[in-house]
Structure 1
Amino acid sequence: MKFYKILCGKTNRVSKIWRVMKLIIVILTTAILQVSANSYAQKITLSQKNVSIEKVFNEIRIQSGYDFFYNIRLIKQAKPVSVELKDASLEETLKACFENQPFTYSIKENAVIVRPKQSVLLNNTPEKHIDIDVSGKVLDETGKGLPGAAVKIKGTTQGTVTDQNGNFKLKGLNDNAILVISFIGYDTREVKPDNKSEMIITLSPRASNLDDVVVVGYGTQKKVNLTGAVSTISGKVLEDRPIPNIGRGLQGELPGLTITSGSGKPGAAPAFNIRGFTSINGGSPLILVDGVQTNINDLNPDDVASATVLKDAASAAVYGSRAAFGVLLITTKTGQKGTPKVSYSMNYAIRKITNLPDVVTDPGTVIDFKNQAYSGYYGVNLYNTTQTAYAHQRSANPSLPATIVDPTNPNVYDYFGATNWFKELYKPTNNSQTHNVSVSGGNDRITYYFSADYNNQTGVFRYNPDYYNRFNIRGKLDFKVTDWLHIYTNSAYNRTVYNYPSLWTSDWTSGDLYHQIGRANTLSVPRNPDGSWTSSGTYLGFLQDGGRGNTVTNEPQNTIGFTTSFFNNTWRIKGDYTFRATNNYNQAYQVALPYETGPNQAISYAGHSDASAWADDNAYQAINIYTEYEKTFGKHYFKGMIGYNQELNKYNYFSASNNNLISSNVGYLDESTGTTPSVSGNGYQWAVRGAFSRLNYGYDNKYLLEVDARYDGSSRFPTNQHYAFLPSASAGWRVSEEPFFKGLTKVVSNLKLRASYGTLGNDQSLGNYSFTPTLGSGQISNILGGTQPIAVYAPNLVSPTLTWEKVYNKDAGIDITLFSKLNATFDWYQRDTKNMITKGFQLPAVLGATQPLENAADLRTQGWDLSIAYNDQFQLIGKPFNFGLRVNVWDSQTVITRYNNPNKFWFGGDYYVGEHPGDIWGMTTKGIFQSDAAAKGAPDQSKLQGYYDWNKAGEIQYADLNHDGKIDYGDGTVGKPGDAHVIGNTSPRYNFGVGGNFTWNNIDFSIFFQGVGKESFWPGTSGYYWSMFYAPWDNVYKNIVGNTWTPQTPNALYPSLKGWRAGDDGPWVDLAVPQTRYLYSAAYIRLKNLTVGYSFNMPLFKRIGIDRLRLYFSGEDLWESDHLPQGFDPEALGGSWGAGKVYPFQRGYSFGLNAKF
Structure 2
Amino acid sequence: MLQKNASAVPFTSAETSNSVFESLTAAGPIIKGTVTDVSGSPLPGATVLAKGTKIAVLTDFDGKFSIEMPTNSDRLVISYVGMETKEIGISNTNPVIVLNEAGQNLKEVVVTTGYEKTSKRTFTGAISKISGSELKVDGVVDVSRMIEGKAAGVTVQNVTGSFGSTPKITVRGSSSIFGDTKPLWVIDGVVQEDIINVSFADLASGNSATLLSSAVAGLNANDIQSIEILKDASATSIYGSRSLNGVVVVTTKQGRRDSPLKVTYSVENTVRTVPSYTQYDILNSQESMSIFQEMRTKGYLNQSSSITARFSGVYGILAKEVNRYNESNGQYGVRNEQPYINEFLQKYELANTDWFKVLFRPSITQNHSLSFSGGGKNNTFYGSLGYYTDPGWTLADNVKQLSSNLKGTFFINDRLNITLSTLASIRDQEAPGTYESKNDAVFGKITRDFDINPFNYVLSTSRTLRPYDENGNYEYYQNNWAPMNILKELKNNTMGIKVNDIRFQADIDYKINKNLTYNFTGSARYANTSREHKIYEDSNVVGAYNAGVGATLNTQIQKDNVFLYQNPNDLTAPKISVLPNGGFLRKYTNDMTSYNVRNSITYRNTLNDKHELEGFFGTEFRSVDRNNDNFTAAGIQYEKGLSAFIDPKLIEKLVNEGNSYYDFGAERERTVGFFGKVGYTYDRRYTGSITGRYDGSNRQGDTGSSRWLPTYTLSGKWNIKEENFMKNVESVNTLALRASYGLTATAGPATNSLAIYRSFITNRFNTGDRENAINISDLQNADLTWEKQFETNIGFDLGLFRNRVQVTTDVYSRKAFDLIDYVITSGVGGQSVKQGNNADMETKGIEFGFTTQNIAAKDFKWSTTLNLSVYDQKITKLANRPAVFDLIASNGGNTVGHPRNSLYSYQFTGLNPEGLPTFKLQDGAENNITEANFQDTNNVMKYLKYEGSVEPNKSIGLANTFTYKNWSLYVFIVGSGGNKIRLNPVYNNVYTDQTVFTKEFANRWINPGDEQYTNVPVIADQLLNRNYGANNLQIAYNTYNFSDERIASGDFVRLKNISLGWEFPSDFKRKLGVSTFTLKGSAVNPWLIYSDKKLNGQDPEFRNTGGVAFPITAQYTFAINISF
Aligned partner (choices 243, 249, 253) of residue 333 of structure 1: 253
SS of the aligned residue for 1:848 comes to coil
1:45-103 deviations in whole A, cap 9, x for unaligned?
7886556999x999999xxxx9876569x679524699xxxxxxx99973x43331363
**Distance across 2 between alignment mates of 1:439 and 1:775:** 53
Q: Greater shift after overlay, 352-361 or 547-556?
A: 352-361
Query: Against the structure 1 CA distance between its residues 42 and 925, is the aligned structure 2 distance closer, same or farther, given a 3 Å change threshold?
Result: closer
Q: Does 1:701 align with 2:677?
A: no
- Kept in 1, the 8 Å contact 2:688–2:715? The answer is yes
Query: Against the structure 1 CA distance between its residues 99 and 728, is the aligned structure 2 distance closer, same or farther, given a 3 Å change threshold?
Result: same
- Show the 5 A alignment for 1:801-840: 801-819=783-801, 820-840=803-823
Query: Against the structure 1 CA distance between its residues 907 and 1077, is the aligned structure 2 distance closer, same or farther, given a 3 Å change threshold?
Result: closer
What amino acid maps onto 1:455 in structure 2?
Answer: Y
Query: Against the structure 1 CA distance between its residues 776 and 219, is the aligned structure 2 distance closer, same or farther, given a 3 Å change threshold?
Result: same
Query: Against the structure 1 CA distance between its residues 81 and 52, is the aligned structure 2 distance closer, same or farther, given a 3 Å change threshold?
Result: farther
Question: Paired residue for 2:147?
Answer: 250
- Show the 5 A alignment for 1:604-1003: 609-634=583-608, 635-664=610-639, 668=642, 670-675=643-648, 678-720=661-703, 721-742=706-727, 745-767=729-751, 770-782=752-764, 786-794=768-776, 796-819=778-801, 820-843=803-826, 845=827, 848-875=830-857, 879-900=858-879, 909=887, 911-922=894-905, 950-952=911-913, 977-978=941-942, 980-1003=944-967
Question: Paired residue for 2:191?
Answer: 293
Q: Does 1:520 align with 2:520?
A: no
Deviation at 1:518, TM superposition (A): 3.8
Question: Paired residue for 2:512?
Answer: 566
Q: Greater shift after overlay, 881-890 or 1008-1017?
A: 1008-1017
**Distance across 2 between alignment mates of 1:1033 and 1:53:** 94
What amino acid maps onto 2:171 in structure 1?
Answer: I
**Distance across 2 between alignment mates of 1:904 and 1:501:** 33
Q: Greater shift after overlay, 290-299 or 344-353?
A: 290-299
Deviation at 1:1100, TM superposition (A): 4.4
**Distance across 2 between alignment mates of 1:476 and 1:984:** 48
Question: Paired residue for 2:985?
Answer: 1022
SS of the aligned residue for 1:1072 comes to helix
Question: Paired residue for 1:314?
Answer: 234
Query: Against the structure 1 CA distance between its residues 1031 and 293, is the aligned structure 2 distance closer, same or farther, given a 3 Å change threshold?
Result: farther
Percent of counterpart pairs with the same letter? 20
- Show the 5 A alignment for 1:437-456: 437-456=370-389
What amino acid maps onto 1:898 in structure 2?
Answer: K
- Show the 5 A alignment for 1:89-488: 94=67, 96-101=68-73, 103-104=75-76, 149-150=86-87, 186=102, 204-205=103-104, 212-239=109-136, 241-283=138-180, 284-294=182-192, 295-337=215-257, 338-353=259-274, 358=280, 362-372=284-294, 405=334, 407=336, 416-417=348-349, 418-420=351-353, 422-423=355-356, 425-462=358-395, 465-488=396-419
Deviation at 1:1075, TM superposition (A): 4.4
Deviation at 1:404, TM superposition (A): 6.5
- Kept in 2, the 8 Å contact 1:871–1:884? The answer is yes
**Distance across 2 between alignment mates of 1:319 and 1:245:** 24
Aligned partner (choices 536, 545, 550) of residue 591 of structure 1: 536
Deviation at 1:835, TM superposition (A): 1.0
1:424-481 deviations in whole A, cap 9, x for unaligned?
553241221100010100122010001010011232224xx32111111111100000
Q: Does 1:1054 align with 2:1016?
A: yes
Deviation at 1:499, TM superposition (A): 2.2
Deviation at 1:893, TM superposition (A): 2.2
Question: Paired residue for 1:489?
Answer: 420
SS of the aligned residue for 2:1103 comes to coil
Question: Paired residue for 1:1099?
Answer: 1067
SS of the aligned residue for 1:321 comes to helix
Deviation at 1:1035, TM superposition (A): 1.0
- Kept in 2, the 8 Å contact 1:68–1:114? The answer is no
Query: Against the structure 1 CA distance between its residues 1057 and 905, is the aligned structure 2 distance closer, same or farther, given a 3 Å change threshold?
Result: closer
**Distance across 2 between alignment mates of 1:602 and 1:379:** 24
Deviation at 1:958, TM superposition (A): 7.2
- Kept in 2, the 8 Å contact 1:573–1:627? The answer is yes
Deviation at 1:228, TM superposition (A): 0.8
1:318-341 deviations in whole A, cap 9, x for unaligned?
111111211100000010121101
**Distance across 2 between alignment mates of 1:679 and 1:1081:** 43
**Distance across 2 between alignment mates of 1:829 and 1:374:** 61
What amino acid maps onto 1:738 in structure 2?
Answer: E
- Kept in 2, the 8 Å contact 1:711–1:726? The answer is yes
Q: TM-score scaled to structure 2, two decimals?
A: 0.77
Larger Rg: 1
**Distance across 2 between alignment mates of 1:695 and 1:1054:** 65
- Kept in 2, the 8 Å contact 1:696–1:705? The answer is yes
SS of the aligned residue for 2:970 comes to strand
SS of the aligned residue for 1:746 comes to coil
Query: Against the structure 1 CA distance between its residues 366 and 1136, is the aligned structure 2 distance closer, same or farther, given a 3 Å change threshold?
Result: closer
What amino acid maps onto 2:1115 in structure 1?
Answer: G
**Distance across 1 between alignment mates of 2:301 and 2:374:** 80
- Kept in 1, the 8 Å contact 2:674–2:694? The answer is yes
SS of the aligned residue for 2:121 comes to helix
Query: Against the structure 1 CA distance between its residues 215 and 325, is the aligned structure 2 distance closer, same or farther, given a 3 Å change threshold?
Result: same
What amino acid maps onto 2:531 in structure 1?
Answer: N
Deviation at 1:1107, TM superposition (A): 1.7
Query: Against the structure 1 CA distance between its residues 252 and 1002, is the aligned structure 2 distance closer, same or farther, given a 3 Å change threshold?
Result: same
- Kept in 2, the 8 Å contact 1:370–1:1033? The answer is no
SS of the aligned residue for 1:852 comes to strand
Deviation at 1:622, TM superposition (A): 0.6
- Kept in 2, the 8 Å contact 1:511–1:1142? The answer is no
Query: Against the structure 1 CA distance between its residues 1068 and 980, is the aligned structure 2 distance closer, same or farther, given a 3 Å change threshold?
Result: farther
- Kept in 2, the 8 Å contact 1:353–1:1144? The answer is no
**Distance across 1 between alignment mates of 2:107 and 2:352:** 62
1:1043-1072 deviations in whole A, cap 9, x for unaligned?
656668965563444479999846676752
Question: Paired residue for 2:520?
Answer: 575
- Show the 5 A alignment for 1:523-534: 523-529=464-470, 531-534=473-476
Query: Against the structure 1 CA distance between its residues 566 and 1114, is the aligned structure 2 distance closer, same or farther, given a 3 Å change threshold?
Result: same
Question: Paired residue for 1:1034?
Answer: 995
Q: TM-score scaled to structure 1, two decimals?
A: 0.75
**Distance across 1 between alignment mates of 2:592 and 2:523:** 14
Query: Against the structure 1 CA distance between its residues 854 and 709, is the aligned structure 2 distance closer, same or farther, given a 3 Å change threshold?
Result: same
- Kept in 2, the 8 Å contact 1:358–1:1126? The answer is yes
What amino acid maps onto 2:1091 in structure 1?
Answer: D
- Kept in 2, the 8 Å contact 1:261–1:268? The answer is no
Deviation at 1:311, TM superposition (A): 0.6
1:674-727 deviations in whole A, cap 9, x for unaligned?
546743322221111101111111111111111100011111012323211111
**Distance across 2 between alignment mates of 1:918 and 1:68:** 45
**Distance across 2 between alignment mates of 1:986 and 1:581:** 35
Query: Against the structure 1 CA distance between its residues 1077 and 883, is the aligned structure 2 distance closer, same or farther, given a 3 Å change threshold?
Result: same
- Kept in 2, the 8 Å contact 1:732–1:755? The answer is yes
What amino acid maps onto 2:270 in structure 1?
Answer: A
- Kept in 1, the 8 Å contact 2:906–2:1039? The answer is no
What amino acid maps onto 1:549 in structure 2?
Answer: M
- Kept in 2, the 8 Å contact 1:538–1:593? The answer is no
